[in-house]
Amino acid sequence: MFHKEGAKIIFVALFVTVVVALLADRLIDNTTLRFIIQLVAVAFLILILQFFRNPKRAVSITDTHVIAPVDGKVVVIEEVYEPEYFQDKRLQVSIFMSPINVHVTRYPLNGLIKFSKYHPGKYLVAWHPKASEENERTTIVIENSNFGEVLYRQIAGALARRIVNYAQNGMQVIQGTDAGFIKFGSRVDIFLPLGTEINVKLNQKAIGGKTIIATKA
Whole-angstrom distance, CA of residue 182 vs CA of residue 188:
10
- Measure Cα distances from 40 to 13, 14, 20 in Å: 12, 13, 10
CA distance 52 to 181: 9
**Of these residues, 60, 94, 132, 186, which one is catalytic?**
186
Give the 3-state secondary structure of residue 69: coil
The Cα angle at residue 79 between residues 109 and 128, in degrees rounded to 5: 90
DSSP 88-146: EEEEEEEEEE-TTS--EEE-SS-EEEEEEEEE--B---TTSTTHHHHBSEEEEEEEETT
Output the DSSP codes for 156-202.
E-SS---EEE---TT-EE-TTSEEEEE-SSEEEEEEE-TTPEE---T
In angstroms, the CA 176 to CA 60 distance is 8
Any catalytic annotation for residue 145?
no
Active site residues: 186
